[in-house]
Chains A and B, each alone.
Chain A
Amino acid sequence: MVAVQDALLSQMRRGTLQYCVLALLAKEERYGFDLVRGLAEVDGMVTSEGTIYPLLSRLRRDGLVESSWQESTAGPPRRYYRLTDAGRTALEGFRLEWRRFRDAVDHFVERNARS
């Protein structure tokens, strides 16, 4: 792939990844490993699983997610992440904007787009 496209794709992925994390946590609280594997399951979203942790750390600092320890039946206690109210608001805001943006781009670049 052309270098410019590569950089663009990786920037878009980086920019949207945090909202994918927020969306995953909106459904239910998850512990790190579970969350990371959930993201990695979808092809093309995450190349290095470890890079999710700096993002989680940042989201926590920004007050969009919070974490708490919970006992686990399978081993040592786990750190669970959950969405805060601010996180929910941020996600909702992104959803609206993303739909508009996605539709706008689709309008032009989709092969079968209505012209």
Chain B
Amino acid sequence: MLGTHINCLRNVLDSKIKNFPYKVKVLIKNIYELKRLLRKLEFSDSLDFLNYLLGFIEVMRKRINSQEASCGLWHNNPNLDLLIFLARTRVLKFTSVLEFNTCPNPYFELAHQKIKNLTETKTPGKVLVVLPSFQTTESFKQFLIAEFENKLDMYNSFRLKSCLKKQNILLSAERKVFEIAKQLDLKRIELESFFDTEMELEFDEKLEPIEIVKQKVSFQSQMLRMLGFDWETFNLGKWTIECIEPKELLESLRKLPNYIVLLTSNLQVIRQLEVHCAETIDNPSLELVTLINSGLSDSFCFQAHYQAEYQALASFSSFEPLQLSCSVPSTEETVIVDKREFTSSLPYYLCKRGLKVVPYTLKTGDYVLSPQICVERKSAKTDDIVTSLLSGRLYEQLKVMCSNYTYCYLLIEFKEDTAFSLSGSSGFSPVPSKLAETLKDFPVNVLWSTSPEQSAELFLQLKKVFKHNQPSASDVKQTKEAESSYLKVLRKLPNLSESSLCVLSSEYQSMYLLSLATLEQLSELIGPNEALHLYNFLRT
């Protein structure tokens, strides 16, 4: 059932998420948070889960007065207390006295039991353990270190790693390991749990964060971690155990493992194993142990993926071949396009409309439509317009463009389903006023477009209206737009508008000359208010 819901949600969410009401966005975020909790519940022990849950709730508490929390799942949710209570009861046992009783993760425990059985009863070989994700793989490795520690053949593990690491780095690290190993008793297993019972007993105190410090990592693994090493393969005498995440499966299968322990219901993993078995039919020695939990999230994902894939493939049975269309023949109409603009799809639409697209590294503008017309494109979708406006870059770009071309355009491209607005969702934004302030200084026309497709249409119209010659590389004005360091310093001065900056930079060629200017001189150039601010600033 959850699978159907997820599919339905996915269909609805697709590409629309940005325009959803705020409440929906928060709820979607809540679903991801819940998904993380589910995964944590499935692949961690009771103490880890409680620790994670309390930390998570602490974060929620901090958000509780904010707008986000007030409309989400976590606001005044009575289930939260019950959730904490249940998580605590998995850690604490209620008998005549309160006992600390951490339940190990059932997946890990069973997997460990299986591996142990294999090593005790079967012919030595390679064991491959497949876990659902990187995080679970790392947790399981730690779990194995704790369980098998006094049996692990550290030397052989390091020897194996020598193939993977640079030899010289390994040797020095290896020496260091053995030096420390000599000083420490590595056979000792350290599994300590520090639990603040005093705090833990405060059951009535809802949402009270409890800091649980758990130290189950041994000296050996701590030391390895300190040295920047990670156990990739565990060596237990003649046995090797490799723990991997799904994406590493194909590579590990090439090493022909003898035993595979599967802790995931990942559809791709199961299929890859099927293919592997079919391909190695002559070598049927593989033993597979799958650990399934029909009630938890992983199996739900399996069903959801299976159904979605099946339905999608079935839908192709009604596919009707598409006719090959004829493309619009390329005309002599040319547009010179800055090479960096090829990240946008506008050049594609220009080409599709029959314009000849010529890539060129432009230093001024993005599109040259004729020897007289140049266009600077800014996308509202990626906030390009906002950042370049606020940083003053747009001012410089327009300045250079206007000094080189007769007809200059600023194209602001929005998304198809959004309004022409630069105000932002909060209603107030400095962007429109900043844009107006920037534009007042230059003879630049603004083109508003909803999509690259519409921008291409606008370009065609422009080329029709101005029947200029076609642009060529020789028409491209390669004026450097690099801002001088002096201008960069000027830009840092407070309370100066772009036009004032421009006037000051042309009047005074250095900071030294500017600092010698009197208040009257400055007032004449940039007005009394700005002049006073600048004058005071330069003399404080």
A, B: real partners: no
Which positions in B face A, CB cutoff 8 Å?
A: none
